[in-house]
């Protein structure tokens, strides 16, 4: 497992090093992703380019608020981060998106069923050929085709079963 070095003295160099390390390793087999309430994946905030590579990104106020629980005080939540870009993420051979809770329902629905748009960065996952989305019932509440997804899961062909 490797993540970009967000504590490096030269963040631009650390971003480039991260992408080089991925290439040197032969790529990423499985990229595990969460999703923000605003539809970000890997801290690619709304309006992130689908062609973006690992880079420094300014966090949206909503993302900072949502992540404040990991810090002693809201003032300690970073304003910037080092993140894999959407193009970097989409190069992985397989993607797994995991989400839980009703707070993520709009973002999950936009990612899975919405239009392809930079306003919901996770919608870029629709461009990938091997994506698995694992959500609890609460995160699935806004999916219009939830019954169909359950049906397809129950009726997978033998070659798709574990």
Tell me if 15 is assigned to some domain. Answer: yes
pLDDT at 152: 92
Query: Which pairing describes strands 80-83 and 55-58: parallel, antiparallel, or unpaired?
Result: antiparallel
The predicted-structure confidence for 75-103, as pLDDT tens digits, reads as follows: 999 999 999 999 999 999 999 999 999 99
Q: Does 4 map to a domain?
A: no
Total domains in the chain come to 1
- DSSP string across 110-156: HHHHS---TTSGGGGGGG-SSEEEEE-TTTTTT-TTHHHHHHHHHT-
pLDDT reported for residue 73: 94
Contact yes or no for 42/33 (Cβ under 8 A): yes
Confidence of residue 13 (pLDDT cuts 50, 70, 90): very high
Q: Give the pLDDT score at 72.
A: 96
Q: What are phi and psi of 33, to 5 degrees?
A: -130, 145
Q: Of 77, 81, 59, 57, nearest to 67 (Cα)?
A: 77
Q: Residue 23 has what pLDDT?
A: 95
Residue 1: inside a domain: no
Asked whether residue 6 is domain-assigned, the answer is no
CATH number at residue 138: 3.40.50.1360
Please list the alpha-helical segments (H only) found in the chain.
Answer: 11-24, 61-66, 86-90, 105-113, 146-154
pLDDT value at position 162? 73
74 within a domain of the structure (yes/no): yes
Q: Which two tokens stand for residue 8?
A: 């490096």
In a domain, 5, yes or no: no
Please report the pLDDT score of residue 161 as a whole number: 77
Q: 78: domain range?
A: 11-160
Tell me: the pLDDT tens digits for 28-61? 999 999 999 999 999 999 999 999 999 999 999 9
**How does pLDDT run across 58-73, given as a tens digit for each residue?**
999 999 999 999 999 9
């Amino acid at each position: 497992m490797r993540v970009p070095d967000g504590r490096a003295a030269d963040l631009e160099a650390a971003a480039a090093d991260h992408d080089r390390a991925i290439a040197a390793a032969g790529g990423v087999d499985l990229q595990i992703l969460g999703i923000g309430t605003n539809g970000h994946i890997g801290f690619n905030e709304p309006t992130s380019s689908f062609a973006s590579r690992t880079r420094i990104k300014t966090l949206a106020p909503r993302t900072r608020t949502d992540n404040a629980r990991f810090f002693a005080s809201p003032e300690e939540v970073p304003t910037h981060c080092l993140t894999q870009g959407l193009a970097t993420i989409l190069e992985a051979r397989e993607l797994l998106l995991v989400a839980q809770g009703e707070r993520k329902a709009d973002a999950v629905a936009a990612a899975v069923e919405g239009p392809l748009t930079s306003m919901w960065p996770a919608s870029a996952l629709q461009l990938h050929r091997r994506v698995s989305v694992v959500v609890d019932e609460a995160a699935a509440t806004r999916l219009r085709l939830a019954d169909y997804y359950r049906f397809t899961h129950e009726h997978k062909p033998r070659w798709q079963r574990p």
